[in-house]
Chain A
Amino acid sequence: MDIRVAGIVKDYDGTAALRGVSLDIRTGELVALLGPSGSGKTTLLRVIAGLEIPSEGHVLFGGEDATGLSVQQRRVGFVFQHYALFRHMSVFDNVAYGLNVRRRAERPARDAIRRRVLDLLDLVQLSGLENRYPAQLSGGQRQRVALARALAVEPRVLLLDEPFGALDAKVRRELRRWLRDIHDRTGHTTVFVTHDQDEALELADRVAILNDGRLEQIGTADEVYDHPASPFVMSFVGDTARLPVEVREGRVLLGGTALDIEVAAADAGGGALYLRPTDVVLTNGDCSGLAGRVTSLRRTANGRRAEVRLDAGGNVLEVEVPTQRPLQVGDRIGLHILKARLFPA
C-alpha cells in the first residue's frame, strides 16, 4: 500500500508543528523520518496513523483519501516508542487483542487467532513466551511483542515511533538488522521515526529529513549524503565544517585566498562552503594554497582528526588524517579540498 502525504499543516494552539509537508512513499518501501527533536517527525507519523488530526492537508493510502478515516478504520500497525503493551494481558493476549476486538462477523475463529498469534511470535522469535506478562520481559522482547501485536491486524502500513529509542546500543544494533529482515520478509510499507542518522541511513530505503516542520529532502542514503538539498541536510547528516566564502568571477575566495575548487552555477557574492572532514586531504608539504596550523589532534576509530586553524580568515577546519602520516600539534600543513558544497549564505 503506498502512502501519499499532501500539504499537511498541523498547529498546536498557534504553534506550528508541521508547515506543509508532502511526501510519497512507495508500496513495500522502508522509509525513515529523520530530524532533530521538535522537527515534527513524530507528529507526521501520528498524522499518517490518524492519531493527530491535521489542520490542513490530506493523507492517502493507495490513492484513497484516508484523512477522514478514524484511527480504527485506517488499519495501520503502530509501534509506540514505549511499546504501550497492556500490562494486565499476557503476551498472547496482547498480540491477539486487535483480532479479539473485531466485530463478531469479522473476527477469525478462536483457533485461527491462536495460530496467527503463535506464527507471529515465531516470526519475532518469541516462541514459548506467550504466557509471560510484559513486566517479565526485557526491553528488546517487549519491542518485539509490540511489533507482533501491530502485525497481527494485517495492517496496510506499519508505523514505528523511535522503535529503538529506549534500548541500549547493543540491542539496538541487533534489532535494527532484525527489523530490516522482518520488513524484507513481510513486505509491509513501513515508516519509522528516528533521530539517529546512522539508524536511518543503515536501515531505510529512503530517508526523509525534517526540520522545523518542513521536509528538507527525501532520498536514498547516497542521495542525502552526497547531494544534500540544503545546508541543514548537509550539516545534519554527518560531520560538516562551514566556511564563509566569497564568490567572484566563478572563483571561490576564502579570506582573499582563492580555493582550488570548481563551483557549478555559483552565484556571485557571499556564500558558505560546506565540507566534510573526509573531503579534505593533506598536501605533500605544499603550503601555497589553502594552509594552516594544527591546533589539536585526536584519535578516532579509523584514523586521526586534526583541527587546523586556517591562515585565511582564521577559521578552524577538522581534517581526517591517515595514522601513518607523522603530524604534531603546531605543524604547518597544506590542504586540498576534494569536494565541497556551496550554499548561498
Chain B
Amino acid sequence: MSDTVLPAPAREGRGRRVTTEGAGARLALALAALSFLALFLVLPLVVVFVEAFKGGIGTYLSAFDDPDAQAAIRLTLTVAAIAVPLNLVFGVAAAWAIAKFAFAGKSLLVTLIDLPFSVSPVVSGLVYVLLFGAQGLFGPFLKAHGIEVIFALPGIVLATVFVTFPFVARELIPLMQEQGTADEEAALSLGASGLRTFLTVTLPNIRWGLFYGVLLCNARAMGEFGAVSVVSGHIRGLTNTMPLHVEILYNEYNFIAAFAVASLLALLALVTLAAKSVLEWRYGDALSGRGAH
C-alpha cells in the first residue's frame, strides 16, 4: 500500500535503535578506549622496535654477535625446553584426574594448582632460595655433595617451572570437564585399552586446547624475569637468560643491544598472540569444548 497522504518520508526523523548509545557517546567511548590502548599497548611495543633499529640493521645484528647474548639465548631455550614439557605432562595428568573423575577435595586441588599465579615472581624465586640457597633448608646438604641449584641451571629451571606451573592444567581442566567422559567410555566399551583410549580419543579432542596452553606456558617460560632474577646470580655467559641479559645491557647503557635482544622477546610475544588469536578465531569451539560433540 502506497500511503502518500501521510507526512514525513519513511527514512527520516525516525527513532534510533534502542540497544546502543547515541552517536556522540559512542564516539567518545570509542576514542577513550582506543587512545588508552594506543598509549598503554601499542606505544610500548613500537618503541622496542624503533629503539632496537635506531643504529641501523648492522648495529642491530651486531648485538647478537656478542657471545654473552648467544649464551643467554641458548640458556633461555634450554630452560623452556625443560620446563614446558614438565608442565605439559603435569597439566595432562592433573586435568585427567580432575575432569574425568569425581573425588573429595577436588576444588581445593584446583585452587592449589592456581596458586603460583597469585604469588609474586620475586617470592617464587625466594622460596627456592630458602630451600636450596647457601643458608637454606637443604643448603648444607647440597654443598656437602657438591650439587649447585641456586645460581645455576637447576634453580633457574625450578623457578621457571613454578611460575609457569598452572598454564597447561588451567587450559585443559575446563575443556576436559566440558567434554565429559562419554567419548572415553565409548572407546573403552569397544575394547580399547586405557592408553589407547587416551591417545586416540582424548588427545585429539584436546589437542588445540593443549597447544594453546603450551603456547602460553612457553611465552612465560622464555620471558620470566623476576623469579629467575632471584635464583640466577646474574653470571654473564652462564646463568643469564635473555630477559636478564636485557637488564644487564640496559643498566650498562648499551641501549641498542638491550632493545635488540628485547625485540626478539617482543617478537616471541607477538607470535604467541597471533597464534593464540588464530586458534581462538578458528578453533574457538574446540577450545571451549563445544565443538567436540
Contacts and interface: CB of A to CB of B under 8 A. Distances in A.
Asked whether any CB of A lies within 8 Å of a CB of B in the complex, the reply is yes
Interface of A: 6-7, 20, 22, 50-51, 53-58, 65, 67-73
A68 B3 contact: no
B16 interface: yes
Contacts of A20: 1
Interface residues on B, range: 10 to 19
B4 to A, nearest CB: 10
B7 A70 contact: no
Contact of B10 (A54, A69, A73): A54
Interface of B: 1-3, 6-8, 10-11, 13-18
Contacts of A22: 1
A7 B2 contact: yes
Contacts of B13: 68
17 contacts: A6-B6, A22-B1, A51-B18, A53-B14, A53-B16, A54-B14, A55-B10, A57-B3, A58-B3, A58-B6, A65-B8, A68-B8, A68-B14, A68-B15, A70-B16, A70-B18, A71-B18
Contacts of A50: 15
Contacts of B15: 50, 53, 68-71, 73
B7 A7 contact: no
Given A65-B8, A68-B8, A53 B17 contact: yes
B17 A7 contact: no
Contacts of A69: 15
Nearest to B10: A56
A57 B11 CA distance: 9
Given A53-B17, A70-B15, A65 B6 contact: yes
Contacts of A71: 15, 18
Contacts of B14: 53-54, 67-68
Mostly, the A contact residues are mixed
A45 B121 CA distance: 58
B10 A57 contact: yes
B270 to A, nearest CB: 36
Contacts of A73: 15
Nearest to A60: B6
Nearest to A5: B1
B101 to A, nearest CB: 31
Nearest to A51: B18
A56 B2 CA distance: 9
A70 B17 CA distance: 9
B238 to A, nearest CB: 58
Nearest to A69: B15
Contact of A6 (B3, B7, B8, B18): B3
Q: Which 5 A-B pairs have the closest CB atoms?
A: A70-B15, A7-B1, A56-B10, A68-B13, A53-B14
Given A7-B3, A73-B15, 7 more contacts: A6-B3, A7-B1, A20-B1, A51-B18, A53-B14, A65-B7, A68-B8
Nearest to A9: B10
A51 B18 CA distance: 7
A57 B7 CA distance: 10
A65 B3 CA distance: 12
A286 B202 CA distance: 69
B111 to A, nearest CB: 26
Contacts of B11: 55
Contacts of B3: 6-7, 57-58
B8 to A, nearest CB: 6
A54 B1 CA distance: 14
Contacts of B8: 65, 67-68
A82 to B, nearest CB: 15
Contacts of A57: 1, 3, 10
A6 B10 contact: no
